[in-house]
Amino acid sequence: MENHKESQGSGPLKGLRVVELGMLFAGPLIATNLADLGAEIIKIEHPKGDVVRGLGQGDNSLWWSVVARNKKLVGVDVKKPEGADIVRRLLATADVFIENFRPGRVKEWGLDYDTLRKVNPGLVMLHVSGYGQTGPYSERPGVGTLAEAFSGYAHVTGEPDGPPTLPSFPLADGVAALTGTYAVLAALWARDRNGGIGDEIDISLYEPLLSMTGPMLINFTKGGVVSNREGNRARWSTPRNTYKTRDDRWIAVSSAADSPAMRLFQAIGREDLTTNPAWATNRERLKRVDECDSMIAAWMLLHTQAEIMERLNEFDVLAAPVNDIEGILKDPHVQQRGSVVSIPDPVLGDTVVQEVVPRFRNAPGKINWLGRHEVGTDTLEFMVEAGFSTGEIQKLHRSGIVKVS
């Protein structure tokens, strides 16, 4: 049995209790964000183990190590009435309840908001689903990949002559998780000012991505423009692209504003363009986007990535190397700032992961432990707290309704 008596974090959310009934990424990542900032997370997983435990190669899911960090684990089969009753009793003392099953599923288990608020009026309940709790698609299964397609994100991502492109990581889940995190905090803020009454929050996977597409919608409704794939270019700015270097690496440049563009031209030896009206403004440069890109690309190919960055930094050009993960870990800024941190783990050993963001000066968040390897490490603690006797717990364990480690 793993040691599960570590102290919870001392971040700004210390004292907040959250029950997470989630699967895969969006809902669990909301709880992860809250856990990183000090909230106590009670993660409900099936006694046979969460599906994320089986992702990846080998016996230990590294995805699980990330998603389940800082969480206390209670193994309960919520589909059984006795299991749902355990979760209801845990929710009686919770501040937040996060679930991301298909709409209507938690109601079947008696875990809907109208039922729960009768015993806990201050509860903030957050639903995450593919298409939201309402609408003709609400009952459809939804995952991040489908949201990335449905939201329009994939349609505008990729090369002009290439296919719609999906990210290689669960972007929609991550964006929905950030949205869900601030939604929970907003609801808690409101609760403190309206007599302690909680709220119910509905988040779809596709709407947070849609909200991030900037002027894509208004460009169509007001200008009739359908946004399409443009590679690394943007129809509203230039220079803006990635450029290959002599050593087969890449540099990203974003210098749409006029002053940064002039500094870039100086850095690549084209001072003549800085006094040419045809290149003076972004509007004029957009008329010459192919010429602009070709000129910059030709100069980049003559130099290594390191040489280019040294030169561009001398001229205060808005540019950055396109890093792979090895480059990120070797970068002196990442190292000195502490953007990654090493966490000890009883099975994996010392493991480097991303540090908590954002950073607080007075009450910083902390990664106390990675996702625990045993199911139900904290079942006993919370069932005793909820009033179950030793005999009741043993009976539920033997029946497979709970898992006690």
- Which pair of structure tokens corresponds to residue 54? 């089986």
Give the pLDDT of residue 3: 37
The topology under which CATH files domain 240-244+250-321 is: formyl-coa transferase, domain 3 (3.30.1540)
**CA 122 – CA 99 distance, rounded (Å):** 17
> Three-state DSSP class for 6?
coil
Q: List where CATH 3.40.50.10540 sits in the chain.
A: 17-212+337-403
From the list 26, 12, 36, the residue with the least C-alpha distance to 370 is: 36
Catalytic residues: 173
Give the residue range(s) of CATH 3.30.1540.10 domains in the chain. 240-244+250-321
Per-residue tokens: 143: 């995952």
CA 189 to chain centre: 22
- 243: nearest Cα among 218, 267, 219: 267
Does the reported pTM lie above 0.95?
A: no
One digit per residue, the tens of pLDDT, for the chain of length 405 reads 333 344 455 799 999 999 999 888 999 999 999 999 999 999 999 999 998 988 865 556 788 999 999 999 999 999 999 999 999 999 999 999 999 999 999 999 999 999 999 999 999 999 999 999 999 999 998 999 999 999 999 999 899 999 999 898 899 999 999 999 999 999 999 999 999 999 999 999 999 999 988 888 888 899 898 888 888 887 777 889 999 999 999 999 998 789 999 999 999 999 999 999 999 998 999 899 999 999 999 999 999 999 999 999 999 999 999 999 999 999 999 999 999 999 999 999 999 999 999 999 999 999 999 999 999 999 999 999 999 999 999 999 999 999 998
DSSP letter string, 164-184: ----SS-HHHHHHHHHHHHHH
Q: Token match 């509203």: residue?
A: 236
> What does the alpha-carbon distance between residue 370 and residue 365 come to, in Å, rounded to a whole number?
14
Whether residue 167 is preceded by a cis peptide bond, meaning omega within 30 degrees of 0, is no
What pLDDT score does 214 carry? 82
Q: Any idea which fold 17-212+337-403 has? A: Rossmann fold (3.40.50)
A 10 A CB-CB count for 85 gives 17
What is the rounded radius of gyration, in angstroms, for the C-alpha atoms of the chain? Answer: 25
Q: What's the chain's length in residues?
A: 405
Which residue's structure tokens are 């669990």?
A: 28
Q: Are 365 and 36 in contact (CB under 8 A)?
A: yes
